[in-house]
Amino acid sequence: MAEDPEGLFLDWELESSISSELKREKQLSAPQRRYYNLCRRKSFAAFVASKRDSSRQEGTFWCCCSQTFMDHSAIHKHVARMHHSEIQQLMTATYERLLKRIEEDSEGQQLMELKVQSVDISAWIPETGHIPEQQLHLGPGKVLLYYHYCHVEDPNVICSWQKALCEKLHLTGKVRVATEGINGTVGGTDVATQLYIEAMCSHPVFRLDKEDFKTSDGGAKCFTDLRVGVYKEIVPMGVDPAVLSYQLAGAHLEPEEFHKEVEALVAKGSVTPSESDTVLLDCRNFYESKIGQFTQCLAPNIRKFSYFPDYVDQNLDLFRDKKVLMYCTGGIRCERASAYLISKEVCKDVYQLKGGIHKYLERFPDGFYRGKLFVFDERFSISSNDDVISGCRYCHCPWDQYEVCSTRFCCQLVLSCPSCRQEGHTGCCPTCQSKGRGSEHTLSRREECECTSGRPRIPQDV
C-alpha cells in the first residue's frame, strides 16, 4: 500500500473539482466563457500576490503553507495543486460580481437607448421630399468645418439626431458630441450641406450662425464614411473639460485684427520668439505647419494636440510676460489651448484667431499665411496661394502634397515628389522604405519608424 494515500485523495478531489468546473464552463456561452476565464486568471494572480513576502528588501519571495518559494513557477505550481478550491471560490465570487456589473451596465445602456428613442428628433430633420434625390448625392459639393461650445444636456440624443440627419442628407465625415458642445466636419453636395447648415442653425441647443461654418470645395468623396460619436472632449487635448473649461479661453481677434497684429510683428524684423515681446503660436501638429504657416510663427514640433499641454509646461519661459497670438485650422484647438496657457499665469495677454486659418484666408488669401492649409480628410490640403514652403522627403525639391506611407500598418504622411515616387521612394522614412521592400510576413503590425522614434515627444524650444 502506498505510504501517502492523502496525495491520491488530493489528486482525486482536484480532478473531480476540475471536471465539474469544465462541465460548468461548457454550459456557458462564448462571451460568458471569456469572462469566466478572465476571472479565473485574475483570481489566481490575486491569490499568488497575496502570498508575496513584502518584508524582504532584496529579491521576490512568496510564503505559503510554511514554505518559501523563490520563483514564479514554483509558487504557481504549489497554488494550483494545494489551493484549487480556494481559487475556485474566489473566482466564483469575482465572476458573479462581474456578471452583476455587466447586467447593471446593460440595463443602464438600455435605459439610455429608451430615453433617446423617447425623444422625437424628427422635428430637427429637414423635409427633403420636394428635392430630387440626385441633388442630395450627385453634383458639386462642399466640405463644412464647424464647432460650437455650449452645454449639451444629453449628448446621446444629439448623437442620434446627427446620425439620422447626416444619413438622410447623404453626408460623410466626422462629428464629435460631448456635454461641452459639438465639433464636426462633413462633406456632401451643395444642396445637402446647405440643408445641414440650416438644420444646425435652427436647432434649439446650438442655434449656430452661417458665419460659424467654414466651407471649401469638396463633397462626400472627401471622407471614407460617416462617424458620429459621444466623447468627453469635442477636441482631444487630454484635459478634462470639468478641470479646464472653454470659458477660460483667450480673447478672439477677427481676421482683420489678427492681420494687423501679425503685420506689426513682421515689421519688427526677423527675431526669435525669445527676443520678441510677441509670440505668434501655431497650435497645430508639425505635419500641418510643415506645409503652411504664418510668417514668423512658432510651430511646435508635436505630433498630436494632446501633447500641447506638455509642450507648454516644458517651454513656459517662451511665453513669460509675452503677448501670445494663437491660431489653428478652424479655431477649436485655440479655445482649449489658450485656456490652458492662461491657466499657467505667465503670459501678458493671450489672443486667438477667430475662425482660424480658414476664415483668415477667406479675408486675406494672399496675406501672411503662406503655403497650403492641411485638412483632415482625403484631400489632405487646400490652397489659397501658390507658395510651396516644404520639400520632398528624398530629393528636397519644392513639394507639399502629402501621401500616406506605402508601408502596411504605417499611417504617417510622406512628402515624396512624382519623380521620387516613380523611383519607388514611397515610405515616410528609411525604416519604412526598407520594410516596404521586405516580404509581407516580415512586416510588423506595430508602427515603428524614424518619423516617431527620432523625434522628441515634447520638444524644448526655450
**Residues 257-307: tens digit of each pLDDT:** 999 999 999 998 877 777 789 999 999 999 999 999 999 999 999 999 999
Q: Are residues 400 and 368 part of one domain? A: no
Q: Are residues 363 and 268 part of one domain? A: yes
Banded model confidence at residue 2, pLDDT cuts 50, 70, 90: very low
Q: Are residues 258 and 370 part of one domain? A: yes
Three-class DSSP category at 346:
coil
pLDDT at position 102, please?
74
- Between the alpha carbon of residue 296 and those of residues 176, 258, 283, 322, 371, the distances in Å are 33, 14, 14, 15, 13
Question: What backbone torsions phi and psi does residue 311 show, to the nearest 5 degrees?
Answer: -60, -45
Banded model confidence at residue 438, pLDDT cuts 50, 70, 90: very low
- Report the share of the chain in percent with pLDDT over 70: 83
**Structural domain ending residue among the three candidates 167, 201, 230:** 230
pLDDT at position 370, please?
96
Q: Are residues 437 and 319 part of one domain? A: no
Banded model confidence at residue 443, pLDDT cuts 50, 70, 90: very low
Mean pLDDT (whole number) for 410-415: 86
Q: Are residues 133 and 84 part of one domain? A: no
The one-letter amino acid at 211: E
Q: Are residues 350 and 290 part of one domain? A: yes
Q: Is residue 356 part of a domain?
A: yes
pLDDT at 99 over 90: no
Range of 418's domain?
A: 390-454
**125 contacts 161 by C-beta, under 8 angstroms:** yes
**Structural domain ending residue among the three candidates 195, 230, 265:** 230
Q: Is residue 130 part of a domain?
A: yes
d(CA 45, CA 90): 11
The one-letter amino acid at 234: I
**Residues 125-183: tens digit of each pLDDT:** 888 888 888 889 888 999 999 999 999 999 999 999 999 999 999 999 999 999 999 99
Catalytic residue IDs:
328
Mean pLDDT (whole number) for 391-410: 90
Q: Is residue 106 part of a domain?
A: no
Q: Are residues 175 and 66 part of one domain? A: no
Three-class DSSP category at 348:
coil
Q: Is residue 425 part of a domain?
A: yes
pLDDT at position 37, please?
78
pLDDT at position 109, please?
54
**Residues 114-128: tens digit of each pLDDT:** 555 556 788 888 888
Q: Is residue 238 part of a domain?
A: no
Most confident of 54-68, 321-335, 433-447: 321-335
**Residues 216-256: tens digit of each pLDDT:** 999 999 999 999 999 999 999 999 998 999 899 999 999 99
**135 contacts 175 by C-beta, under 8 angstroms:** no
- Between the alpha carbon of residue 273 and those of residues 134, 206, 269, 322, 341, the distances in Å are 53, 38, 12, 9, 16
d(CA 431, CA 427): 8
**394 contacts 416 by C-beta, under 8 angstroms:** yes
d(CA 132, CA 191): 10
pLDDT at 327 over 90: yes
Q: Is residue 10 part of a domain?
A: no
Angle at 312 (CA atoms; ends 309, 315), nearest 5 degrees = 150
- Sheet containing 172-178: which strands, arranged edge to edge? 214-218, 141-149, 181-189, 172-178, 226-230
Q: Are residues 197 and 136 part of one domain? A: yes
- What CATH code is carried by the domain that includes residue 224? 3.30.70.100
d(CA 391, CA 414): 10
DSSP at 132: -
Cα–Cα nearest to 191, from 122, 113, 131: 131
Q: Are residues 150 and 64 part of one domain? A: no
Q: Are residues 159 and 82 part of one domain? A: no
How many domains does the chain fold into?
Answer: 4
- Give the pTM: 0.71
445 Cβ contact partners less than 8 Å away, ≥ 6 residues apart: 409
Q: Are residues 258 and 167 part of one domain? A: no
Three-class DSSP category at 143:
strand
Most confident of 30-44, 185-199, 420-434: 185-199
Q: Is residue 218 part of a domain?
A: yes
- Sheet containing 369-374: which strands, arranged edge to edge? 292-294, 369-374, 381-383
Cell of 59: 529579491
The sign of the CA dihedral 129, 134, 137, 141 is negative
pLDDT at 69 over 80: yes
Count the alpha carbons within 13 Å of 153 in the hemisphere toward its beta carbon. Answer: 5
**Structural domain ending residue among the three candidates 374, 409, 438:** 374
Q: Is residue 104 part of a domain?
A: no
- What CATH code is carried by the domain that includes residue 279? 3.40.250.10
Q: Are residues 364 and 426 part of one domain? A: no
